[in-house]
Amino acid sequence: MTAIFKRELSSYFTSTIGYIFMAVFLAISGAIVWLTGFFQGSTSMGNYFFIMIFFFVILIPILTMKLLSEERRSRTDQLLLTSPVSLFGIVTGKFLAAFVLFEITFAVSLLNFIPLSLYGKLQTAEIISNFIGISCVAATLISLGIFVSGLTESQFVAAIASIAAILGTLIIGIFSSSITNDLLRNFVKWFSLLDRYANFRFGLFDFSSVLYYVSLTLIFLFMSVRVLEKRRWA
């Protein structure tokens, strides 16, 4: 798993994908900080983090579209599948590489708060809770992107499908309010990532939401393993 992690993490920087992700992420982050902070004259960053989540629809697929689809397209997946590394180790190594790059970029983006702190006191608890919440949401979406990437050998198809899947998980809570059946509405709303994020946005740590995100992450990783397992025996 460690070898897979190192290989995938270094591949982000030996190609343009890692640099594109970091550049787009930091550019969007800076623009949102200016709009929600300097423009509004506020040091409350809850809106910044909430808005940033919607840009994950574009950002996360950049990280995940190649992770499994490229192996399949280049036919290197057979070498990978017959290696001594377990399927779970392969998927986990790729997941950790994408997640670590995300976390590094996310941490760097918080430097945008330094100029804002000169004009008022930042709410530390709010920033920490949102950092945890954003990290949990990102982990879930990255695992979802990896699963989608494993279903095709085309990076383009993987990117488009990931955008659709991620967008669906973010907006599904909006449509749940129009469902009249309580049981069905609650079932649909359970899949809404944004509903679970509400407490983090306002500076509250929600352990049940963390457990929810971790559970979904593990489910998507398990599904990715099953995809690889099916391909191995095929």
Instruction: Tell me which residue has tokens 């702190």.
Output: 117
Q: What is the pLDDT of residue 37?
A: 67
> Residue 22 in contact with residue 9, Cβ under 8 Å?
no
112's CB contacts (< 8 A; 6+ apart) are 29, 30, 33
CA nearest neighbour of 4 among 74, 95, 70: 95
Q: What is the pLDDT of residue 233?
A: 66
Q: Which domain holds residue 149?
A: 2-233
Q: Which two tokens stand for residue 77?
A: 């997946």
pTM: 0.90
Give CA–CA dist 73/151, Å, rounded: 11
Q: Which two tokens stand for residue 42?
A: 């506020």
Q: What is the pLDDT of residue 68?
A: 85
What's the structural domain count of the chain? 1
* Largest pairwise CA distance in the chain: 61
Per-residue pLDDT of the chain (234 residues; tens, 9 = 90+): 788 898 889 989 888 899 999 999 999 998 988 887 666 656 667 788 989 999 999 999 999 998 888 777 666 666 666 667 788 888 999 999 999 999 999 999 988 888 777 776 778 888 899 999 999 999 999 999 999 998 888 888 999 999 999 998 888 877 766 677 777 777 777 778 888 888 898 888 889 999 999 999 999 999 999 988 877 665
Q: What is the pLDDT of residue 20?
A: 94
